[in-house]
Structure 1
């Protein structure tokens, strides 16, 4: 759905949207197409890229705010759709930070010997939480899914570390009403719609983003100059540019796909990763920083040797 198409139904324009948030288009799931469908498609693509089958996976973790049902989890539906009858699966709900939370969770399960290979998915049909008459929110979001496979590897003493090197996760529930959905099973019994105090979210975003990035780098004994790529949550062009500038990163090291996908919540980081890997920017051995911030507030970063 392009900005021009959106402008036919709500008072906005392509120029206004691009100037404020840098979005040119977003994708909307078809009628009858659910979060688990998008997640399963992304999972199949990730497995094919890894040269693996679903039999090789021990655990599926799906980061989502828009599951098909209140229960069961989207992850168990993905497990069914992929034909996986072993192992275990569960969802993580940290809104836009969900994929970074999921990567960190999968890393912990692997390092503790509870899983050897994990399918980590970020998937959303966020369009179904939108009030399409509210131009302050409906122009910002889209649907999508992305996935990676994480696995345990034995690395020799003389080889560089690979995979997740460090992570930093944070949350602060005092800010819950700055970005939230006004519905839920325990409150209204309805799905509800997204509400956001845009200036407040923007005010908190850059500082919180850079704090966890610095913490992750410090934990792994690296500096900003060591980074090959910064892959942030794709919410807003100005937030991404602000965080990059505060970190002192040149724009050419920052992966930005918000123009193509809009804000896809937990799907945004893996979608950006997929674009940068497929176009050849991110290569094996590169030092990559993932970062996200979402409603709650939640925020986090993971430093990865690709």
Structure 2
């Protein structure tokens, strides 16, 4: 492999959603059969979510990831054989091993690229993008595929109204290439494992049996408080790192967890709401897929254009968080 240039740039994006769209009314009807009351108004008022996409039972994360990957490679005009690195951010891998990234690699027909998964829950894509950028900057790769993909419906307790209404399934991907002009212009990652209990899916398989609670559990108020605090600090830090200010940000693309978090954070950062890319109403919270999904939507509808500065942020279980500043 020849020495890489100094920077990495996003040269393609792609996304994929399962065919089945579930509106709040659809979900309310399904939950009513189980004796659980909810409504479109209840969900919208608390979350801003109006619908989500749910994969069919048996669909695998690698299936969704492969669709998004192919779309991103097509957009970038790059053949899969050119990839040196494939990273999949997911909390719902197909197997214990091999990694979902290796399954995607096989599906793409690539042989030889480094391939591995990153597990940082809803911060996963930001973690994976920062990792890929570091590989390229270090000269270890020239072309990288970074995917966030989840089948979160498989780890939801569908009798817990406080969590099951919040999430959806999907995948988003970007292609990075080495460049002599800056693309990823700032990044930082953090975690605080002492906060692990506020958002977790703490089950595992041992000796052929499920041990512990396999479903997602969340303390919503604690997550809200932590999220807005750490993301505010992280946003300010990453723009300062790049020698810019928040006023220089053209588009803010945060993790799509809850419209209340997005609105509160935008006000704290004094970012005009018109500059915030919001997809949570259409996709719900797709965990590691939410940021690349939102980026692809905004790019394909013409909002995100070459030369613009984007602030990407993730926050999730672990407790993890991070920011990436991108010049398109």
Query: TM-score, normalising length from structure 1?
Result: 0.96
Matched residue, 1:159:
none
Matched residue, 2:3:
none
Answering whether residue 281 of structure 2 is matched by residue 259 of structure 1, we say yes
In the alignment, the residues of structure 1 paired with residue 278 and residue 47 of structure 2 have an alpha-carbon distance, to the nearest angstrom, of 12
Matched residue, 1:114:
140
Please give the root-mean-square deviation of Cα atoms over the aligned residues, in Å.
1.2
* C-alpha deviation, 1:8, in angstroms: 1.1
In the alignment, the residues of structure 2 paired with residue 185 and residue 108 of structure 1 have an alpha-carbon distance, to the nearest angstrom, of 33
In the alignment, the residues of structure 1 paired with residue 253 and residue 120 of structure 2 have an alpha-carbon distance, to the nearest angstrom, of 18
Answering whether residue 110 of structure 2 is matched by residue 88 of structure 1, we say no
Matched residue, 2:227:
205
Find 2:318's aligned residue among 296, 299, 302.
296
Change (3 A) 1:50 1:191: farther
Contact 1:64 1:92 (C-alpha < 8 Å) held by counterparts:
yes
In the alignment, the residues of structure 2 paired with residue 191 and residue 30 of structure 1 have an alpha-carbon distance, to the nearest angstrom, of 23
Find 1:63's aligned residue among 89, 93, 110.
89
Q: Which runs of 4+ in 1 moved over 6 A?
A: none
Runs of 5+ consecutive residues of structure 2 not aligned to the other structure = 1-21, 32-36
Question: For 1:101-180, what aligned pairs fall within 5 Å after superposition?
Answer: 101-155=127-181, 162-180=182-200
Aligned residue pairs, count: 300
Contact 1:129 1:191 (C-alpha < 8 Å) held by counterparts:
no
The structure richer in strand per residue is 2
Matched residue, 2:123:
97
Matched residue, 1:231:
253
In the alignment, the residues of structure 2 paired with residue 188 and residue 222 of structure 1 have an alpha-carbon distance, to the nearest angstrom, of 49
* C-alpha deviation, 1:182, in angstroms: 3.0
Matched residue, 1:270:
292
* C-alpha deviation, 1:44, in angstroms: 0.2
In the alignment, the residues of structure 2 paired with residue 175 and residue 246 of structure 1 have an alpha-carbon distance, to the nearest angstrom, of 23
Runs of 5+ consecutive residues of structure 1 not aligned to the other structure = 156-161
| CA shift digits 1:54-106 (9 cap, x unpaired) | 01111100000000001110000000011111211000000000000001000
